[in-house]
């Protein structure tokens, strides 16, 4: 596996909380190939930008404000540089997104996490890829997030 692919795999798995349940109602960004498993939806573009949606247990049980702080603090302490953050809405539900970059060798990579709190679950939507490739797909990624239904399940 190349160094770039290892970084994408690492970024995509950086926010594993365990305890997945059913996958929320969502679709992959336009022009992404998708695989819908029992616990998550995973997709990738031809230029190796990855996208994943999963539901995990809200443990420790907390509200969106807590998870915003926890997510940002965890990624900043791990060396990610915050490039954008803010409120996002999907399926009538308020959420939070955080975009970061991290250098790897001679390339920079982007990592996005959007999170929604739904009772005892968190819905995490992640995307990662080489910076230029991610930027080219950014609007499609955000459109897919906004079109999702984090509170619904399949």
Q: Show me where the domains of the chain are located.
A: 3-153
Query: Which residue in this structure is represented by tokens 């990579």?
Result: 109
Buried b (16+ CB within 10 A) or exposed e, 10-41: ebbebbeeeebeebbbbbbbeebeeeeeeebb
What is the structure's pLDDT at 15?
Answer: 36
Q: Which residues does the chain have with pLDDT short of 70?
A: 1-26, 152-154
CATH architecture for residues 3-153: 3-Layer(aba) Sandwich (3.40)
What is the structure's pLDDT at 3?
Answer: 46
Instruction: Give just the sign of the alpha carbon dihedral 58, 100, 93, 44.
Output: negative
What is the structure's pLDDT at 30?
Answer: 86
Q: How far is CA 121 from CA 127, 133, 136, in A?
A: 20, 31, 31
What is the structure's pLDDT at 27?
Answer: 80
């Amino acid at each position: 596996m190349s160094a770039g692919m290892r970084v994408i795999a690492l970024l995509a798995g950086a926010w594993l909380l365990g305890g997945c349940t059913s996958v929320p109602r969502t679709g992959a960004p336009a022009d992404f190939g998708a695989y819908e498993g029992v616990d998550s939806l995973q997709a990738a573009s031809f230029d190796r930008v990855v996208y994943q949606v999963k539901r995990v247990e809200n443990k420790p049980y907390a509200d969106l404000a807590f998870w915003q702080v926890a997510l940002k603090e965890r990624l900043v302490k791990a060396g990610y540089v915050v490039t954008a953050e803010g409120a996002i809405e999907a399926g009538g539900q308020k959420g939070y997104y955080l975009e970061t970059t991290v250098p790897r060798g001679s390339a920079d990579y982007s990592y996005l996490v959007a999170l929604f709190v739904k009772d005892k679950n968190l819905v995490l939507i992640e995307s990662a890829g080489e910076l230029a490739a991610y930027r080219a797909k950014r609007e499609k990624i955000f459109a897919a997030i906004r079109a999702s239904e984090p509170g619904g399940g399949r």
